Structure 1
Amino acid sequence: MTQHDSATTRGAAPGTGTAPGAADGATTAPPRRTWRTIDLLVTVTIGVAMGVVFLGLSYAYYPIEPLTAAFAPASGLLAGLWFLPAILAGLIVRKPGAALLAELIAAFVEMMLGGQWGWTTMISGLAQGLGVELGLALFAYRRSGVLALAVAGACASAIEWVYEAFGTSAMEWAMDWKLAYLAIMVVSGVVLSPLLCLPLARLLARTGVLDAFPIGRERAARELV
């Protein structure tokens, strides 16, 4: 999200019912709250895989360094990238807690592999995971379209912003910069969350590995039409 200081968190660094692509107004029956073994396995797998990916995300900031050097809040343009474990797990598993667990695991893996933000990585993971959970809960975990994922991304951005704006070196910024950072982060979360996770989930569903999940059954149902 930002590169203004090495003391910042990884977030500041260099679903739930409808089928992806279906109308956001459509809903399905409320998801079962009981976790299955496969739910846990997929959530953990997403978290571990994304934790490894996180180690390379700082390189994504290099192309926008001239912009962030002139206007530090512009680093929020890539904020949505850090929400991907939570968004993807929430989209696939569609149970309360999946998004938070995946994000925390990803943060932990990044930290243990030597991520540059150390233990503060877990704070960002908690903030972002809780934000996605809040966004999905607003739809009772029954929607998985663009609207639901965009709202989840916006909520994650807002909660992460609170931590970064008042708990990292960004606290030294003037309030107008902080508010600009919030706006940029929210836009990033709203755009990148569905833009990246929906196609990825659809791709995985086409392989058949998600047949035990709603997204896999929805794909099969569409193919029968």
Structure 2
Amino acid sequence: MATTTTEAPATRRSITATRPLLGWRTVDILTVTFLGAAFGIVFWGWAFAYDPLAKAVSLAYVPLSGLFAGPWFLAAVVGGLVVRRPGAALLCEVVAALVSMLPGTQWGATTLVSGVLQGLGAELAFALLGYRYYRPLAAVLAGVLAVPLEWVFETFSVPASWADVPVLGALTGGGAWYGELLPRDKVAYLVALAVSGALLAGVVGWLLTRALARAGALSAFPAGQEEREAGAV
């Protein structure tokens, strides 16, 4: 009696950027800049939605406001997933922070500081994966690691001597937004930020990148090639 065997489908691989990874192309620079600028406009708009949401949940428990911070990490996640070169996540997040800061926000120059810190964290995630793995878990990890440095910045006051330095004083405000929280509440805020980073930056960032790839907007990038290979199976 004849038997048939079904071969398991091969695991979809992550396609990396062309080597050398530090050899940025003009299209890479332009795309990161465009994405960052687009997310900067989104960030600026999200500030208007964030404020009432954060205040509403803070009436119950202040650390819950961290659940709405995830969208501000999106630029780093998407920038890293699209360009897949060292520095892409950081650059995209910094451009987004700068663009969102220009029209004016309630956080002033600290917006740019947050962009640098969040971008560095997301960049670390892609670096830990060797700039070789770009599946959903990579996006989630980038969203989560965008949190720790930002959390330190928001919850721990800077030394008083820093506030006396004109530039540092302007950037840090000489204090922390959540510096008065009890240690357990600071930890709860960290958890809330991480959950938001995983879901609203990691998962949403992955889905947004896939949507752009399916629309043909990323044909010059590995994400677009992955989508073409998936459609050919």
Fold shared per TM-score above 0.5: yes
Query: How far is the alpha carbon of 1:31 from its aligned partner?
Result: 5.1
Instruction: Kindly provide the CA deviation profile for residues 41-85 of structure 1, in whole angstroms up to 9, marking residues without a partner as x.
Output: 110001101111111112333345332122111010012111001
Which runs of structure 2 are paired with 1:47-58 in the superposition (5 Å)? 47-58=36-47
Counterparts of 1:66 and 1:223 in 2: how far apart (Å)? 44
Query: How far is the alpha carbon of 1:219 from its aligned partner?
Result: 1.0
Tell me what 1:171 maps to: 179
Which runs of structure 2 are paired with 1:14-29 in the superposition (5 Å)? 26-28=13-15
Counterparts of 1:194 and 1:169 in 2: how far apart (Å)? 25
Is 1:156 the counterpart of 2:146? The answer is: yes
Whether the 8 Å contact between 2:15 and 2:226 is mirrored in structure 1 is: no
Counterparts of 2:216 and 2:17 in 1: how far apart (Å)? 23
Tell me what 2:28 maps to: 39
Whether the 8 Å contact between 1:135 and 1:148 is mirrored in structure 2 is: yes
Larger Rg: 2
Whether the 8 Å contact between 1:31 and 1:141 is mirrored in structure 2 is: no
Counterparts of 1:77 and 1:118 in 2: how far apart (Å)? 22
Question: CA distance change for structure 1 residues 139 and 30 in 2, over 3 Å: closer, same or farther?
Answer: farther
More moved, 199-208 vs 178-187:
199-208
TM-score (norm 2): 0.81
Whether the 8 Å contact between 1:23 and 1:145 is mirrored in structure 2 is: no
User: Which amino acid in the other structure matches residue 77 of structure 1?
Assistant: L
Query: How far is the alpha carbon of 1:123 from its aligned partner?
Result: 0.7
Query: How far is the alpha carbon of 1:23 from its aligned partner?
Result: 5.7
Whether the 8 Å contact between 1:76 and 1:181 is mirrored in structure 2 is: yes
Counterparts of 1:41 and 1:64 in 2: how far apart (Å)? 34
Query: How far is the alpha carbon of 1:119 from its aligned partner?
Result: 0.7
Whether the 8 Å contact between 2:97 and 2:111 is mirrored in structure 1 is: yes
Whether the 8 Å contact between 1:89 and 1:98 is mirrored in structure 2 is: yes
CA RMSD for the aligned pairs? 1.8
Question: CA distance change for structure 1 residues 54 and 217 in 2, over 3 Å: closer, same or farther?
Answer: same
Higher-RCO chain (CA-CA 8 Å, sequence separation at least 6): 1
More moved, 104-113 vs 29-38:
29-38
Counterparts of 1:174 and 1:207 in 2: how far apart (Å)? 47
Is 1:112 the counterpart of 2:102? The answer is: yes
Number of residue pairs the alignment of both structures matches: 203
Tell me what 1:15 maps to: none
Counterparts of 1:117 and 1:23 in 2: how far apart (Å)? 44
Q: Structure 1: any 5+ residue segments left out of the alignment?
A: 1-21
User: Which amino acid in the other structure matches residue 82 of structure 1?
Assistant: W
User: Which amino acid in the other structure matches residue 89 of structure 2?
Assistant: A
- State the percentage of identical aligned residues: 45
